[in-house]
Amino acid sequence: MINALLDTIKIPSDLRKLTKDQLPELAKELRAFIINIVATKQGHLGASLGVVELTIALHYLFDTPRDLLLWDVGHQAYGHKILTGRKDIFHTNRQLGGISGFPKRKESEYDAFGVGHSSTSISAALGMAIASSLKGETDKQHIAVIGDASIASGMAFEALNHAGVSDANILIILNDNAIGIDPAVGALKEYLTKVKTDRSLAQNNIIKALNFDYSGPIDGHNFNSLLRELKRLKNKKGPKFLHVITTKGKGLIQAEKDQVTYHSPGHFDAKTGEIIPKNSKGLSPKYQDVFGETIVELARENKKIVGITPAMLSGSSLKMMLEEFPERTFDVGIAEQHAVTLAAGMATQGMIPFCNIYSTFIQRAYDQIIHDVALQNLPVIFCIDRAGLVGEDGATHHGIFDISYMRAIPNMIVCAPRNEIELRNILYTSQLGLEQPIAIRYPRGRGVLFDWKKPFKMIELGTGVCLRAGKDIAVLSIGTIGNNATKALEELPNIAHYDMRFSKPLDQKLLHTICSNFKQIITLEEGLKIGGFGSSVLEFMTKHNYKNTVTILGIDDHFTEHGTIEELQKINGIDINSIRQVIKNLGDQ
């Protein structure tokens, strides 16, 4: 592949040496470069393809890194990374030891703010702009690029509300492509759609009412339009807002047609765009699909069941319920706080809400979980997907905190099923008339069983099970990481293994038995050690004056970076071999 222009650009100052007439050719080369790398190395494709021209225009006109450029979420920042000194290492994107899939301050001075979660860019850019003003840097530019799905989030509106009454030198660029990961939803999305065709709305709109200098909509793939308007806005002071229309997946026909799939398509043919099919024959199901199929099965019998998700219909597999029960399925957009309190409101009226949110995102609704759900003891069923290490998305997306922060909440039940059957059964149990909230955590990826669609069985809350008897050492695991322990024990005799299932309430009867019969105890969890399941066992032992030796296996007090799940489990000492070695070392003592 010939990159006559792209190869000459190491940093944006090289880009600024090009003529305007050369920029379309550079865009073509940059788009092809992204396609070729992502086709083999995988990653987020459609979002970055959609902002190639905008990325080039921003670095061409603004003095980055002195001028501060922020990308909301960061899915769309691949072109930005390539143009800011990381082209030669872009093939390491999202790999262990390689560059992050998201902008990251410690990775480059061009990454003005670390991102991964949505709707933070306007607040951060406003903070920077106010700081620049206080330091007398009045000519400094502060640009936030945010998508139409992200701008509908409450935090973005809070920042707009503040920015509109400031004199901060901030430029907000709305990258409007009518889709996040799934299609954008809500009244604001409908409003933005109308603005594209109704010029009267464009001239008298909600953004102008918030005191922004609004311009647009303009074609985000037309360099003449982009450069002309960005140059004008560069010379204006105060809060400004540019509405740009783009096409997600631009330049790859399949990505333009199927924007959901090509958000992160996996391996595909760079020349044809066709996805290389994965051989899933003989593989166990994804946990998200176990949830999706099970909630549909339950909803057929229980008319009170409703499903709620904040913009993750496909990722959570709640789309299965939408297809069969659209009137009882709610995608509320990127609005985790609203999703939780919406579920609470439904619960007060006798509905049974299954609120499905990724572990890393439910953190954003912690106050609502405490104040609106647990304090009122409302039976909301939190289905926490992507719990544990998620792999290549890295520190912003690992779900390693939920055991610790959920078990700290009064009235909350915290459960981590070991496999697909256990997940089905706790979902079934939760809708039988629970009188308090429950958090059910399960990981990204596939399960361990093939024949998992068994008849439902009720699980007694707060009970564990003995998977294997022993006499020397007891391993107490919670969740799917327990399957690593099962494999680790295959070559080790006389080691007991208990699946505790619940970190709250603990099975105290079972713990008394374990503590009375084993001097050495190992706890295992795919979550933070501090405040986690192992901590709860130690609290129990302290309360009852047990003197057993306890070894806690889990995630240490640090942010785990990106890599494959297997690599990251090894780094954190919870892979099969590490577990086996810990047991051997204890046995030798």
**Measured between alpha carbons, how far is 43 from 33 in angstroms, rounded to an integer?**
13
**Measured between alpha carbons, how far is 176 from 261 in angstroms, rounded to an integer?**
19
**Measured between alpha carbons, how far is 306 from 345 in angstroms, rounded to an integer?**
12
First to last CA, the chain: 60
At what angle are helices 154-163 and 121-134 packed, to 10 degrees?
A: 30
Active site (catalytic) residues: 248, 336, 364
Which single residue is written with the structure tokens 């339950």?
298
Chain centre distance of CA 29: 30
Number of neighbouring beta carbons within 10 Å of residue 216: 21
**Measured between alpha carbons, how far is 306 from 121 in angstroms, rounded to an integer?**
32
Say which residues have a Cβ less than 8 Å from residue 228's Cβ, sequence separation at least 6.
none
**Measured between alpha carbons, how far is 248 from 270 in angstroms, rounded to an integer?**
17
Helix (H, G, I), strand (E, B) or coil at 64: coil
Question: Strand 465-468 relative to strand 495-499: parallel, antiparallel, unpaired?
Answer: antiparallel
Structure tokens at 48: 């970055």
At what angle are helices 533-543 and 508-517 packed, to 10 degrees?
A: 70
Which single residue is written with the structure tokens 């039940």?
413
The residue type found at 363 is: Q
Distances (CA, A) of 200 to 178, 196, 203, 586: 20, 10, 5, 74
**Measured between alpha carbons, how far is 201 from 395 in angstroms, rounded to an integer?**
41
Chain centre distance of CA 534: 25
**Measured between alpha carbons, how far is 98 from 561 in angstroms, rounded to an integer?**
10
- Residue 222's closest CA among 247, 241, 201, 204? 247
Helix (H, G, I), strand (E, B) or coil at 19: coil
Question: Residue 183 gets which letter from DSSP?
Answer: B
- Residue 526's closest CA among 588, 461, 452, 444? 444
Helix (H, G, I), strand (E, B) or coil at 291: helix
Q: Output the DSSP codes for 93-150.
A: TTSTTS--SS--TTT-TT--S--SSSS-HHHHHHHHHHHHHHTT-TT--EEEEEETTG
Of all helices (H) and strands (E), which one includes residue 305?
strand 305-309
**Measured between alpha carbons, how far is 550 from 548 in angstroms, rounded to an integer?**
6
Helix (H, G, I), strand (E, B) or coil at 259: coil
Contact call for residues 88 and 36 (beta carbons, < 8 A): no
Q: Where are the beta strands (DSSP E) in 335-396?
A: 352-358, 381-385
Structure tokens at 188: 């604001």
